[in-house]
Amino acid sequence: MNNINKPLMVLFLTVFTTICNAQTTKMNWLNMPKQWKTGKNSVTMTVEPSTDFWRITHYGFIRDSGPFYYREVAGDFEATVKITGQYKELFHQAGLMIRTDNKNWIKTGIEYVDGVQNVSAVVTHNTSDWSVAPRNDSPKSIWLNLLRKGDFVQIKYSFDGVKFDMLRLAYFQPNVKVQIGMVAAAPGKLKFDALFENFTVKPVK
């Protein structure tokens, strides 16, 4: 070890760290939409119709077809994003998703029901359940905060980016690498546009 060129070793470690960081922050698509673009700290997508995420419960079908723009993360973390959607039709939706595979995932955000934007969460472990916080208005944007720690996921939401309320605390498998990112769906016949801003993922202890 004493014979190792120290400047060369420092260079190697720097390059190695850079590559590792690039891998952990790389974004990938599941079901890439036909129209999408990235800006400074933003992602805009046009969500195509007949897309959804759901498994079995109540409806009897399985859907895994919505656009999901994600990165892979190991360990505990906190993810945040601001979302502005041009919702038009029943069940238009946009939010965050944490996922290990097509049978284990949680999606949360806005779901358009009865003409208003409801705050929604779907927790899926082979079969899906759905919970909502009903609204009587349609705020311009929603801020989401998803904390993954140990064996749970905590979901909080805000309409001003300052005051956050808890929506859901749910089990999620610990000690596995997950996909975390921006998700949307349009189960009906109409497409819509969704804007995601300031998506961040930070490790927590």
Residue 141 counted as domain residue: yes
User: pLDDT tens digits, residue range 75-134?
Assistant: 999 999 999 999 999 999 999 999 999 999 999 999 999 899 999 999 999 999 999 998
Tell me if the pTM is above 0.85. Answer: yes
Contacts of 181 (CB under 8 A, 6+ apart): 27, 68, 69, 70, 71, 96, 97, 199
- The Cα–Cα gap between 73 and 112 comes to 29
User: pLDDT tens digits, residue range 74-92?
Assistant: 999 999 999 999 999 999 9
Contacts of 171 (CB under 8 A, 6+ apart): 123, 125, 151, 152, 153
Number of C-beta neighbours around residue 91 at 10 A: 15
pLDDT at 136 over 90: no
CATH code: domain of residue 131: 2.60.120.200
* 184: nearest Cα among 79, 93, 55: 93
- The Cα–Cα gap between 89 and 188 comes to 7
Which residue segment(s) compose the domain that 88 sits in? 28-203
Q: How many domains would you assign to the chain?
A: 1
Residue 114 counted as domain residue: yes
pLDDT at 12 over 60: no
Which pLDDT does position 149 carry in this prediction? 98
| Residue length of the chain | 205
Q: Are 96 and 81 in contact (CB under 8 A)?
A: yes
Over residues 152-178, the mean pLDDT reads 97
Sheet holding 116-125, edge to edge: 28-30, 68-73, 178-185, 93-101, 104-113, 116-125, 127-133
User: pLDDT tens digits, residue range 26-60?
Assistant: 999 999 999 999 999 999 999 999 999 999 999 99
The overall average pLDDT reported for the chain is: 91
Q: Are 186 and 47 in contact (CB under 8 A)?
A: yes
Residue 35 counted as domain residue: yes
Residue 11 counted as domain residue: no
- The Cα–Cα gap between 109 and 105 comes to 14
